[in-house]
Amino acid sequence: TRGGLVGSEMCIRDRNIGATLAPRELITDRPDLAGAWTAKIITLFPETFPGVLGASLTGKALQDGLWKLEPIDLRLFGEGKHRNVDDTPAGGGAGMVLRPDIMGRAIQFAQKNAPQDRTRWPLVYLSPRGKPFDQQTARRFAAADGITMICGRFEGLDQRVIDHYDIEEVSIGDYVLTGGEIAAQAILDATIRLRAGVLGNATSTEEESFSEGLLEHPQYTRPADWEGHKVPDVLTSGDHGKVAEWRQKEAEHLTRTRRPDLWRAYTAKPENNSTD
C-alpha cells in the first residue's frame, strides 16, 4: 500500500483498463476481517479521497495503518464504450438516476470480503433524505470493523437498490450537496477520530461537545489581555471547582440559547434535572 491507500486506488487512475478486464486489485479474495478499520467508498470521483482525511490526525492515522481507505470507482462497473452508470428517471423529469444494475455490481464487489452483519459493517448511502448523522452514529460506526459508503451524484440512486440491500441512508444536514463525497469525508472524520490511537489524548473525546449533550464552553489562552479583551478571572483563579462550575454554566447557556432541540433532550434526562 502507498500512504495507507489500498485496493483500487492505483487502477482508478489507470486509463488503460480494458472494457471487460477487472484490475488485479479489484479481483482480490483477501478477506477484510482481520485488518484495520476500513472504509470502502463507492464513488464516481475516487480521486477526491482521502481528500481532507489525508491531513492532520486522520492522515497520520491512515499512514500508520490505524485505518484503511478503499475507494471503489463506480465507473469500472459501468456499461458500454462510455461505461455508462446512469439513465433518465422513470416517469420523466430533470437529471439522471444511477442505474440499479451498475450500483448493484459495485455493492456486491464491496461487500464480498466484508462481514454480512451490518452492526459490524454498516452499508450507508449519503443522501439529504437520510437520518441525520450525529455523534451517537459516529460512535456506532467507530465500533464496527469498517463501513461501506455509497456516494451519489445526479438525482440519486434507484430506490430498488436501497430496498434490496437494506441500505442505511444518512444525511449530514439540511442542505443539498452536489454529491456524497464531502458528506462521506465529514462522517469518516468524525468516526475515525473516535478510534483508539487516532487522537493523542485518549480522554479528549469524552469531554467534548455532544458527548454530554451540551455545546462546549468557550476557550481562552494567553495573552490574558488582548486588545482590551480579558480572559475571564475565574479561569486564572486556580480554583478548579469554580472553573468547572463556570464551564458547565457557559455550556448550558450556549445550548439553551443556540440549540433548544439539544437543550430539551438534555433537560429531559433525569441526571440533568438538578441544573434546570
- The residues binding ligand ADE (CB under 6 A) are 126-128, 171-173, 175-177, 180, 183
Q: How far is the CB of 5 from ligand ADE (least distance, A)?
A: 23
* 153 vs 195, beta carbon nearer ligand ADE: 153
Measured CA distances, 226 to 88, 217, 232, 233, 234 (Å)? 59, 19, 12, 14, 17
* 173 vs 260, beta carbon nearer ligand ADE: 173
Q: How far is the CB of 258 from ligand ADE (least distance, A)?
A: 21
Q: For the chain, how far is it from start to end, CA to CA, in angstroms?
A: 53
- Which phi and psi (to 5°) does residue 190 adopt? -60, -30
* 61 vs 167, beta carbon nearer ligand ADE: 167
Contact partners, residue 110, CB within 8 Å, separation at least 6 = 40, 42, 72, 148
Q: How far is the CB of 94 from ligand ADE (least distance, A)?
A: 16
* 171 vs 205, beta carbon nearer ligand ADE: 171
Check: CB of residue 50 under 8 Å from CB of residue 5: yes
C-alpha cell at 143: 465500533
**Rounded Cα gap, residues 230 and 72, in angstroms:** 52
DSSP string, 20-43: SPPPGGGG----SSSSSEEEEEEE
**Rounded Cα gap, residues 198 and 270, in angstroms:** 33
* 176 vs 196, beta carbon nearer ligand ADE: 176
Residue with cell 434490496: 164
Q: How far is the CB of 111 from ligand ADE (least distance, A)?
A: 20
* 108 vs 178, beta carbon nearer ligand ADE: 178
Report CA Rg, the chain.
Answer: 22
Q: How far is the CB of 208 from ligand ADE (least distance, A)?
A: 22
* 61 vs 183, beta carbon nearer ligand ADE: 183
Contact partners, residue 119, CB within 8 Å, separation at least 6 = 144
If we measure between CA atoms, which residue out of 133, 140, 137, 147 comes closest to residue 38?
Answer: 147
